[in-house]
Amino acid sequence: MQFGIFTVSDITQDPTTGHTPSEAERIRATLTIATHAEEVGLDVFALGEHHNPPFWSSSPTTTLAYIAGQTSTLQLSTATTLITTNDPVKLAEDYAMLQHVSGGRVDLMLGRGNTGPVYPWFGKDIRQGLPIGIESYELLHRLWREDVVDWEGRFRTPLQGFTATPRPLDGVPPFVWHGSIRTPEIAEQAASYGDGFFANHIFWPASHTQRMIALYRQRYEHHGHGTAAQAIVGLGGQVFMRRNSQDAVRDFRPYFDNAPVYGHGPSLEEFTQQTPLTVGSPQEVIDKTLGFRDYVGDYQRQLWLMDHAGLPLKTVLEQLDLLGEEVVPVLRKEFAKNRPADVPDAPTHASLVTAKYGDAAPRQATPNANRGDNLTVGSPYQDAGAATATTSGAAFGPAATRKAVVR
C-alpha cells in the first residue's frame, strides 16, 4: 500500500500570525515539503492544479519535474489534473515527458476542477464539463497507446496522423486515477478503463465515499478487469497531530476556523465527526485511518492533505515527521494484516512494465527519419507494427460506436 501527501497549492494567511506567504515563499516551501516527504519514508507526493490566485500551481509538470530531480524514490502524482480545460494532446506530451525525466515515477489523477471561470478562460463551457472530460480522456488514452492517431471529437480540433511525443517511457503509459467527490459517472469511467478511482474523502461524509467506492468496485468487475476486491482505490484524508489530542485540537482550531473551504461553517467537532478529518494524537490518526478499510475494503493508496489553511512550513514538516515515524510504519503493518494475496498494490511503472513485457525487454521507441508518410506506413517508429492500436477500453463515448479504424 502507498502512503503520501497531496497539496492543493493554496496560499493562505496564517491566522495565528497574520503572515501570508508570497508566491515565491510558498512555492519554495512546497518543494521542501515534497523532498521531506521522501526523507520521512512516504511514497507519494501529489500536486493540485489551479489557474487563479490564491493558488500557485498552474504548471504541475514543471514543479514535479524539479521534485523528480531532487528525489529518488518518491512517486509523483497530481491532485488533480484538469481533464476538462487542458488539451489532452498537451497532457499526453507533458506527462510522457515527466515519465522520462523521473524514470517512470509518475501517475496522474484526473478531475474536472472546482473553479467555474477556468472553463471560459480556457474556452470551454462548464455545462459540458462531464462530456468534455469523457471525450478528452478517451483521446489521451489513445495518444499514449497508439503511435499514430486519427481522431475527431466535439470539443477539440481533429487530428490526422498525429503522434504524441515522446512515446511513453518503455511503451507503458502512466497509470491514471480518476478523482471525484460525487459524480457516479466518473466511477463508471474509471471502472470501464480499469483505471484507479480516488475519492477525496476529506470534505464529505464517509457514508457517501462508501457508496462511490462500492459502485466503482462493482463496475470494475463488470467490465472484466478483475474482481471488485481487486479494483484500485485511493482515498484522501486530512490530519493534524500533536503528541496528545488536546494540544492538537487547540493548535489546529484557528486554522480550521479560518480555512478556505470549511472555515466559518461547521464546528471542528462536527466536522471531525462527520468527515475523515482527524485532529488528535498519532494513535488516533492510526485508528481512524485503519477504519477506512472497514467501509471501502482493502485499498491501494492513502494520501493526506497536510499543508492546507495557512499552516507554516515548520509545522507541516513536523507533521510529516510524525506521519513518517509514528503513523505510516504502523499503518503499513496493520493494513498488510488479513489483506488477501490477490488484492494488488497500486500499479507503478515497474509493475506495469512487467505486466506488459514479462521478462522481455520493453519497447524503446526509435523514430525513423521523417518522410512524411506516417499515414501510409502505419508508424513513424522503427519497430512499426509493435505498437498497433490497442483495444480502446472504452465502453462509452465515441469509442463505443466507432467503426473499426482502417489504417
Partner 1 sequence: MTRRIVVISSGLSTPSSTRQLADRLAADAAGILTERGVDVEVRTFELRDLAHDITNHLLMGFAPPKLEEALDAVSKADGLIAVTPIFTTSYAGLFKSFVDVIDPQALTDLPVLIGATGGTPRHSLAIDYAIRPLFTYLHAIPVTTGVYAATSDWGDGGDGVRSLPDRIFRGAKEFADLVERTDRSELVNDPFALDRPTGHLIGGLAGE
In the complex, which residues of this chain contact partner 1 (CB under 8 A)? 131, 134, 181, 184-185, 188-189, 203-205, 208, 211-212, 214-215, 218-219, 261-262, 264-266, 270, 274, 395-398, 400-401
Q: DSSP label at 127?
A: G
Residue 64 in 3-state DSSP?
Answer: helix
97 vs 154: CA distance, rounded Å: 27
DSSP string, 204-226: S-HHHHHHHHHHHHHHHHHTTSS
Q: At what angle do helices 23-39 and 60-70 cross, to 10 degrees?
A: 40
User: Which grid coordinates are listed for 92?
Assistant: 499526453
Nearer to partner 1, 264 or 337 (CB): 264
On whether the CB atoms of residues 209 and 295 are closer than 8 A, the answer is: yes
Compute the least distance from the CB of residue 347 to partner 1, in Å: 24
Q: Give 228's DSSP letter.
A: G
Smaller CB distance to partner 1: residue 157 or 401? 401
Minimum CB separation of residue 301 from partner 1 in Å reads 22
Residue 124: CB minimum distance to partner 1, A = 18
**Could you tell me which residues come within 8 angstroms of residue 223 by beta carbon, excluding any fewer than 6 positions away?**
191, 192, 194, 395
For the chain, the first-to-last Cα distance in angstroms comes to: 42
The residue among 107 and 188 lying less far from partner 1, judged by its C-beta, is 188
What is the smallest separation between the CB atom of 50 and partner 1, expressed in angstroms?
Answer: 18
Smallest gap from Cβ 400 to partner 1, in A, equals 4
Phi, psi of 78 (to 5 degrees): -125, 160
> Is the CB of 266 or the CB of 378 nearer to partner 1?
266
Nearer to partner 1, 134 or 164 (CB): 134
In angstroms, give the least distance from the CB of 396 to partner 1: 4
